[in-house]
Amino acid sequence: MTKKLRVVALPPNVEESRIQLHEMPVLTCDGKKPCKRCASRVETSECIYEVHIKHAKEELVKQIKELRAKDHLTEQILQALSTDEKVPEILERLKNGETYESIVEWLGRSPIEDFETLSPRTSQHSTFEASDHEMGGDIHCLPLDYLHTLFSEGHFVDSYGRKSESYCSPVLVNALCAMACHLHSVAEADEVDFERLGEEFSDAVRMNIDPQDRTVTTIQAFAVMFLVDSNRAKGLRATSYLKVATDSLSSVAYQETNGFEEVWKNTVRGIRNLNVEWAQVTFQVPPVVQYTSFDEVGENESKLDEARWYFYRYVNDQCPAWPGLLATTNREKSKLIRIVQDVATMMYNQQGPQLSAHDVLQQYSRILYSNAVIQLLRPLLDFEGFPTALVEEVIWNHAQQGLYLLDEHYKTQYTCRYQPVLQMFSLLHLTDVVARFFPGGREGGSKDGPEAIYFAMESLMQSRTGLPVAGPLQEMLRRTANECSIRLPRNLSEIMSPPKPPKQMYCIDDLIDACTRPMYCQPVDRIHARYLPSFSADWVSEGPSFGFLELISGISRSRIPSAEERGAQSLMQIHNLLNSN
């Protein structure tokens, strides 16, 4: 119960008053009006207790459920009357005072226990109640835009509204609700623990999803669960979900139902994109997913491009509507994904032919995506015998351009609260190359090593609010800063919280589970072993035609100190206890 406090004067004998207060029996509110405590008081003032808002809300929810259930029964009876089904018998039963529930049961129609508020059909598998969690609108506005490449939002919402399972199913809804819990904008007034709620939705998916079910909605649910678990730093399990979704594509039977071609195309494209992006950040060869053409313009795609989107920082921001250009974005991303797939396959395929300088230069000529350029060229910076001055300018510019876009056109505009986990990895890779090879930076507003580390740490702090994977990624970045002898931010304890109790620190299992590897860094030694012996010499001769010229600039390039050098530096620090002389 919520208590209204009043200020009262203490009696002169304070100690005696305290003893009397201690010896008095404790009377608690019993929910009656007046409550037991107020009734025992000498004065006859009005009861000072009122129903807590939480209990009032629970009572309203209960009443709403009862009214909706009654409305459901009434609708069943009216439908029977409108079709002239057993009209005299129904009227007779109503006259006799039989309950609506008994009449509906006698008609053989859907009883109350089958009545649901979210799932498209009778199901006990969906844990979501819009009236309970006040997220009914969020399920349509958060995950669907976030996951637009996985399915057709229009067909999903249409099936949802018609209670059809063509493009909407209980497991898919629960998976989306789990995702929505991570993306929910937490408010101080929230009484719901959205982290726990998200886990309940995920548990509901895991309990009821059938890996042998080859329907398109089940495949989509597995793909969504990949995103959910990768957000939770469960990358190993997430990888398995994505593999199940990918392997199931070949077993889906083509349907003649309206919209299937569009839904199928989006699903295949989305799963292909996720595979390539995940392979890029975990340094693997992506599987080949090619069941449809991604570049063709569909008949409904002009409408998708014209759909209005509101690009806001906070939900209540007043901002103009702009054409979303969703179809165009998807087509162009498919072209980029094809290039990224070629690069990842070339670099990480241990069974393929050795890499020549020409192979790498040809791929470079196709790419404008900063993170992909960094991954392609970064191994050259510590490749023995390679003239690194030829690539330093290009690598520096792409790293700075990538960080600039993330800072000025993403973090500053929208915050990093909702940034995808795959973008977090891009942030780490861009930051790493600056901290590791260009810690001194250069003039002109670019980020040096400490500034890049701070920017990445702060961005991950914003993401950590709803995406737990940001925690172990911060820890990896902290270790990189120490390895490169870069000072950490003074307010590190404010922007990097420790793991949740009972854990005191991140262990190797946490790091491996976040990105399937002990660290986010490229396996450069493995890549170096794939270069042809003539790689460096060939680059010198072919590189200039691709723009790789040795330039004199203000870039402060340095190498990482050795372990012995770092130890000596540590001993010289005043705060080190070993420096006692």
In this predicted structure, which of 104-108, 244-248, 373-377, 464-468 has the lowest mean pLDDT? Answer: 104-108
**541 pLDDT above the threshold of 80:** yes
Same domain, yes or no: 359 and 481 = yes
Greater confidence (445 vs 468) lies with 468
Structural tokens at position 73? 């029964």
**Domain end call among 114, 146, 167:** 114
User: Number of structural domains, the chain?
Assistant: 4
Segments forming the whole domain that contains residue 183: 130-322
Q: How far is Cα 457 from Cα 473, in angstroms, rounded to an integer?
A: 9
Residue 121 within any structural domain of the chain? no
**298 pLDDT above the threshold of 70:** no
Task: Give the DSSP H or E segment for 424.
Answer: helix 421-437
Residue 346 within any structural domain of the chain? no
- pLDDT, residue 122, reads 35
Same domain, yes or no: 432 and 443 = yes
- pLDDT, residue 557, reads 60
State the chain's mean pLDDT as an integer: 79
Q: Give 3-state DSSP helix, strand, coil % of the chain, rounded to 5.
A: 55, 0, 40
**516 pLDDT above the threshold of 90:** yes
Residue with tokens 């991604």: 294
Residue with tokens 């039963």: 93
416, 459 contact by CB (below 8 A): yes
Residue 405 within any structural domain of the chain? yes
Greater confidence (19 vs 40) lies with 40
Same domain, yes or no: 416 and 435 = yes
Q: How far is Cα 380 from Cα 113, in angstroms, rounded to an integer?
A: 65
Q: How far is Cα 169 from Cα 156, in angstroms, rounded to an integer?
A: 9
Same domain, yes or no: 195 and 255 = yes
Beta-strand pair 49-50/308-310 = unpaired
Residue 23 within any structural domain of the chain? yes
Q: What is the mean pLDDT of residues 508-531?
A: 95
- pLDDT, residue 554, reads 52
Same domain, yes or no: 505 and 459 = yes
**Domain end call among 114, 138, 160:** 114
Q: What is the mean pLDDT of residues 13-17?
A: 37
Same domain, yes or no: 45 and 57 = no
Greater confidence (362 vs 35) lies with 362
Structural tokens at position 296? 């063709």
Same domain, yes or no: 44 and 77 = no
Confidence of residue 380 (pLDDT cuts 50, 70, 90): very high
pLDDT digits (tens, 9 = 90+) for 100-132: 888 888 787 655 554 443 343 333 344 444 434
pLDDT digits (tens, 9 = 90+) for 255-269: 878 889 889 988 999
Which residues, 6+ apart, have CB-to-CB distance to 282 below 8 Å?
235, 239, 515, 516, 517
Q: How far is Cα 200 from Cα 127, in angstroms, rounded to an integer?
A: 8
- pLDDT, residue 321, reads 84
Q: What is the mean pLDDT of residues 389-403?
A: 95
**Domain end call among 322, 341, 373:** 322
pLDDT digits (tens, 9 = 90+) for 190-229: 677 888 889 999 999 999 999 999 899 999 999 999 999 9
Structural tokens at position 499? 């793991």
Residue 224 within any structural domain of the chain? yes
Residue 562 within any structural domain of the chain? no
pTM: 0.73
Same domain, yes or no: 152 and 103 = no
Same domain, yes or no: 148 and 195 = yes
- pLDDT, residue 259, reads 86
455: exposed, middle or buried (Cβ count in 10 Å: 0-12, 13-18, 19+): buried
Q: What is the mean pLDDT of residues 328-339?
A: 89
* Cβ-defined contacts of 137-144 (< 8 Å, 24+): 138/180, 138/183, 138/184, 139/173, 139/176, 139/177, 139/180, 142/179, 142/180, 142/183, 142/184, 143/176, 143/179, 143/180, 143/183, 143/224, 144/176
Residue 177 within any structural domain of the chain? yes
Of 485, 509, 483, 481, the C-alpha closest to 495 is 481
Same domain, yes or no: 502 and 403 = yes
In this predicted structure, which of 1-10, 44-53, 392-401 has the lowest mean pLDDT? Answer: 1-10
Residue 345 within any structural domain of the chain? no
Greater confidence (372 vs 115) lies with 372
In this predicted structure, which of 184-193, 412-421, 434-443, 536-545 has the lowest mean pLDDT? Answer: 184-193
Structural tokens at position 256? 């003649």
Same domain, yes or no: 40 and 77 = no
Same domain, yes or no: 399 and 476 = yes
Highest mean pLDDT among 58-72, 114-128, 547-561: 58-72
Confidence of residue 570 (pLDDT cuts 50, 70, 90): very low
